[in-house]
Amino acid sequence: MRSVDRHTSEAESYLTLRQAAQALNVPYFKIQRAARLGIVPVYRLLNSRPYVKRSDLERVMSGNCSL
């Protein structure tokens, strides 16, 4: 897990794992598993819950990676 400071988080669009699952229309557990396996990088903003960058999700999906 990566920790990100507030200045970086303002420039990027972050989603919770649940929001990412809804955005991709996949079950939550699949995003959770992809995060655990390192397929999707996970960030902790100010030591909070796990988030993923929207750009990382788009990169994974454009690479035809199956979740």
**pLDDT per residue as tens, the chain (67 positions):** 555 555 554 567 999 999 999 999 999 999 999 999 999 999 998 878 999 999 999 888 888 666 6
The domain defined by 2-62 folds into: Multidrug-efflux Transporter Regulator; Chain: A; Domain 2 (1.10.1660)
Q: Which of 51, 44, 61 is nearest to 14 (CA)?
A: 51
List the domain boundaries for the chain: 2-62
As a whole number of angstroms, the longest Cα–Cα distance in the chain is 32
The verdict on pTM exceeding 0.75 is no
